[in-house]
Chains A and B, each alone.
Chain A
Amino acid sequence: MSHVDAVLLPELDGPVPATLPSALGLLSLALGVGALVAPRPIARLTGVDDSPVARAVLPAIGLRELGSAAGLLSGRRPAGWAWSRVAGDAMDLTLLGRALADRGGERRHRVALTTLAIAGITAVDVLAAVRVGRARRARARVIRMQIAVTVNRSPAEAYRFWRDMENLPRFMAHLESVRADDLRRSHWIARGPAGHRVEWDAEIIDDQPNKSITWRSLPGTRVPNAGRVRFVPAPGDRGTEVRVELRYAPPAGALGRVVAKLFGEEPEQQVRDDLRRFKQVLETGEVVRSEGSPNGISVRQQAMQRPAQPLPASRR
């Protein structure tokens, strides 16, 4: 899985993008060092050099900033640290508000400017915290699966069937069609509930005849997804272990709900059923149907079986 993770979906892999949190970390570092090393000039600059309390509080604020800097620059839990900066900002704004009330003239002017600057930084901090949190949740939504089935056919036969991407809808229940544009690229259309369709383009990025096929959606897809199937000879001359690794990242919101319905409440079960159908098609020639499950294997159908009696003419 880790291999597929790293290769397939660059937009969803690796650490959460951390440019803004790092920049804020550097800002914290500068402020922290400044407050500790040169509290007097800082007090003068911000207009609070007349208060002994302010001179005592400034190094404490410096320490707090160094803490935030260490957290943000470490790259771990960036959302948490970004929010810690927002909390610090709120504290600073409170202190500045009180300082503003006590002062007049040039000092009042400087305190006001400082307040304005801190307010601006607060806005940037909130933006960073929200953005990092959202990115983290998007990664948390990524669904990863590893499912395998043993098929009583040679790796070459199993590979050949899968390599013709237009065969995929014959066993992948949620697909309406796959059109091969050329040897690498294909256009996929998935069936959703209530006539919703989700479409994307995909490309084969690694193709090892009779061994494995690796594909991923092209960048810009609303539902990034990727997969790899390996065809491993089953021990004891029992055909082929078809080992599938899949991942996709359902978006948030309405489209996300459509995608979630597409894969049902048990996405793993759906893929398992897809592989069962793949096995049926390869071993018996087609998907096996019964009167209770006239469309063959399907989680949804298993929950809502029709009686085991022939279908009325209207359903054929």
Chain B
Amino acid sequence: MKATAWMGADSVKVVDVPDPKIMNARDAIVRISTTAICGSDLHLYHGYIPAMRKGDILGHEFMGEVVEVGPQVRNLKPGDRVVVPFPIACGHCSSCQRGLYSVCENSNPNAGIAEKIMGHSPAGIFGYSHLLGGYAGGQAEYARVPFADIGPVKVPDEISDDQAVMLADVFPTGYMGAEMCDIKPGQVIAVWGAGPVGLLAAASARLLGAERVIVIDRFPYRLRLAEEHIDAETINYEEADVLDTLNEMTAGRGPDACIDAVGLEGHHGNAAMYAYDRAKQVARVETERPFALRQAILACRSGGVVSVVGAYGGFVDKFPMGAFMNRSLIMRTGQCHVQRYTRPLLERIQRGEIDPSFIVSHRMPLRDAPKGYKIFQKKQDDCTKVLLKV
């Protein structure tokens, strides 16, 4: 089959590899119809995530048709159209049973390495480094889906591929980002990052009853999406001072909750500040550029929530702990527990409450994956989300 493989920093190729086969009794094989490039795939693309190997198949957002199931999978049969959550979760460990699917205790065969870096191991993730399991990803013609009796959700015919594939990651992730804010009537929610997750977090904040939603980014075309589809207010941080503007907008209170949908590769309006963390990142004394996180903490209303759904992999410097502690802030975070959200969010799409596919800017065949990575990385052609059609 054809598959998109990581070939080193800033290099992906569509290569021929063997077809996947059932390896565990609870596996299914899915013939992929639509798969997406995620912002977090760019972290891999740029080489910021450790434990990648040349030839690793990328992709953790995919959907398609079940073509084969293992002997222990009874809820699916060949022919079913499913979307697959990006965290691999067994459904039977304590974490899964508490709904914390992205910290499944069994799905990372390389838990030993992850423990050395993170203390305890999170779940395995499709196509997301050997640190997180060494699973082949879904930017391919076929994928093996472990624990197929737990993760995949059947998609009704009236839901399009473009809508359904949003349920693999970005919509649940954005939604969880908003849900962690514990939004009450009248509240103002600020979102850093107007990529797919940030936009869907902003949209979800609306669904969950936020009074005002403010989106912060530097790309006018992305901010325009926030204004047009979510009726959000926007701040371009290259044009305005974010903290001053937020204080002005909230009459000095600060947003009630701040969502970091940027993660480890942030940018900063001040060239010197950007250069400081970029240099440390290059020298490997810091793995992240946490501008959004620092700013979200400083901006947040005292006693408010900082919700982090942007991806981090290692260590941040200059964490404003003084502000965080003295102002009684709450931080909530996590890789999305997608399995918890797929069905309820599918129902919201069915009821017409939201169409998450408004973020999709590009659709192209799988063989063009390298081009998709390039334009997404360079933000060319007003790129927000690239879908690969198989």
Residues in chain A within 8 A of chain B (CB atoms): 150, 152, 238-239, 269, 272-273, 276, 279-280, 283-286, 288-294, 296-299, 301-302, 305-313, 316
Contact = CB atoms under 8 A, between A and B. Distances in A.
Contacts of A290: 109-110, 124, 133-136, 146
Interface stretch (B14-22, B194-202, B215-223, B289-297): B14-22
Contacts of A239: 94
Given A239-B94, A309-B5, A292 B112 contact: no
B353 to A, nearest CB: 35
A272 to B, nearest CB: 7
A309 B57 contact: yes
A284 B112 contact: no
B113 interface: yes
Contacts of B232: none
B18 A286 contact: no
Interface of B: 3, 5, 17-21, 23-26, 51, 53-57, 72, 90, 92-94, 97, 105-107, 109-113, 124, 127, 130, 133-137, 144, 146-147
Given A288-B24, A292-B130, A313-B18, A305 B53 contact: yes
B110 A292 contact: yes
B20, B25, B54, B105, most chain A CB atoms within 10 A: B105
Contacts of A272: 112
A310 B130 contact: no
Nearest to A299: B112
A308 B53 contact: yes
B147 A284 contact: yes
Contact of B107 (A288, A294, A305): A288
A122 to B, nearest CB: 53
A127 to B, nearest CB: 46
B18 A292 contact: no
A15 B67 CA distance: 65
Interface centre among A238, A239, A308, A313 (most CB of B within 10 A): A308
B122 to A, nearest CB: 14
A310 B20 contact: yes
A288 B106 contact: yes
Nearest to B98: A238
Contact of A308 (B26, B56, B146): B56
